[in-house]
A and B are shown apart, each in its own frame.
Chain A
Amino acid sequence: MPKLSLNRLIHDIQPLDKREAFLRDPHEFAHGYDVTDAELAAVRDSDMRALWSFGANPYLLRVLQMRSGISDEDFRAALVGLSYPRPDEGEI
């Protein structure tokens, strides 16, 4: 399931060393994760709006925000017009 794979990828790059390895070669790191090119790019670029639409868990987005050095203001600006919970929140 792509959503779980996306969340697994974001989860797995939480440690700083894993994040560095991912950024060095995202495609190599993501081998074995069932994520689309668009999802991989969104993780690489810390594209919060895209990741929200792809179903990334918010707590993982928060960690990604912090690791990427994105300010709280820029984070909220990236998600303007959206709201929690998402329509599919709660679905497995």
Chain B
Amino acid sequence: MAEIVGAFAASHTPLFLLRHDAPAEEVREEVFSAYRRMAREIVDRGAEAMVLLGNDHLHAFSMDRYPALAIGAGPRFGPVETEPFLPSDVYEGAEELASHLARGLLANGFDPLVCRELPLDHSFVSPLALMGDTGLPIVPVLQNTVAPPLPPAARSYQLGVSLRRLIEGYTGLERVAVVATGAPSHWIGTPEQGEIDEAWDRDVIDMLCRADAKGLSAWPQARIDEGGNGGNEIRTWISAAAMSGDTEANLWVYRIEPLWFLGVTVIEWPIGPAL
């Protein structure tokens, strides 16, 4: 049976690539080294695949048809063509693990769109680019954070609980890592674009560091909206927290960088008993 050997959350933004060298050197060093450290930890712990919890910013899906939940179950993803500034990399898919998760989610009350082909955007590619090549196959799991109506954040917690059980019931691999991408507060394409709400960010991070992802998942949508439309991405963090057993998260980095429109955050959860 597989075990989760690491659960992490890390911000994503196209601006990591578009404005890679724009921030001060100390900022870049602090942020980029944290992503490299995350990759190193994942590899050193012997992970054989990564489950990536992210979203799609209306590249793979349009407003006409946008799934609440989708899982990439193909043998590969790429070459990336969704956004011109992204590296046109190809990522190996952990196809059998993805199929196992898809079947299991369906059996457990979720209705994921199972994608044999899935264009990935910066949600996945920007953190992967900073992590460097781990050589690990991936399973992208996408939640709707951009096209109303959005699923309630409580659903994200339930998803994480279910994914944990499914991974632990999988016999095809022994060790799997989890990386949730996105968040915290940011506004994209809105009048507030570029703003960062440090107080909101700290509230979110503090709850996760106090092992209260469940409480975070109970935030009403109006509270989540206070973190901008990008704040909806805390759903992926909530799922990762639930996958860890809602343990006390360790904050590796919280660095406000206006040029990146973010308080860039990297978090790790120790793996506790399943919920």
Contacts and interface: CB of A to CB of B under 8 A. Distances in A.
Interface of A: 4, 7-8, 11-12, 14, 16, 52, 57-63, 65, 72, 75-76, 79-85, 89-92
11 contacts: A8-B62, A11-B63, A58-B190, A59-B57, A59-B229, A62-B193, A63-B58, A83-B191, A84-B187, A84-B190, A84-B229
Nearest to B81: A15
Given A72-B193, A92-B148, A58 B63 contact: no
Contacts of B194: 72, 76
What interface size band does chain B fall in?
20 to 34
B58 A11 contact: yes
Interface string B160-194: 00000000000000000000000000011111111
A63 B63 CA distance: 15
Contacts of B228: 84
A18 to B, nearest CB: 12
Given A58-B190, A85-B225, A8 B58 contact: no
A57 B58 contact: yes
Contacts of A63: 58, 189
What 9 pairs across the A-B complex have the smallest Cβ distances? A58-B189, A62-B189, A79-B191, A61-B189, A84-B190, A7-B63, A82-B191, A90-B148, A11-B62
A12 to B, nearest CB: 8
Contacts of A11: 58, 62-63
Nearest to A55: B63
B85 to A, nearest CB: 9
Given A59-B58, A62-B189, A76-B191, A91 B225 contact: no
Contacts of B58: 7, 11, 14, 57, 59-60, 63
A92 B144 CA distance: 14
A7 B63 CA distance: 7
B148 A84 contact: no
Contact of A57 (B59, B146, B192, B193): B146
Nearest to A67: B84
Contact of B189 (A8, A57, A80): A57
A61 B147 CA distance: 13
Given A11-B58, A89-B148, A4 B193 contact: no
Contact of A7 (B62, B187, B192, B193): B62
B251 to A, nearest CB: 27
Contacts of B187: 58, 84
A58 B232 CA distance: 13
A6 B127 CA distance: 31
Contacts of B149: 90-92
A78 B191 CA distance: 8
A63 B148 CA distance: 18
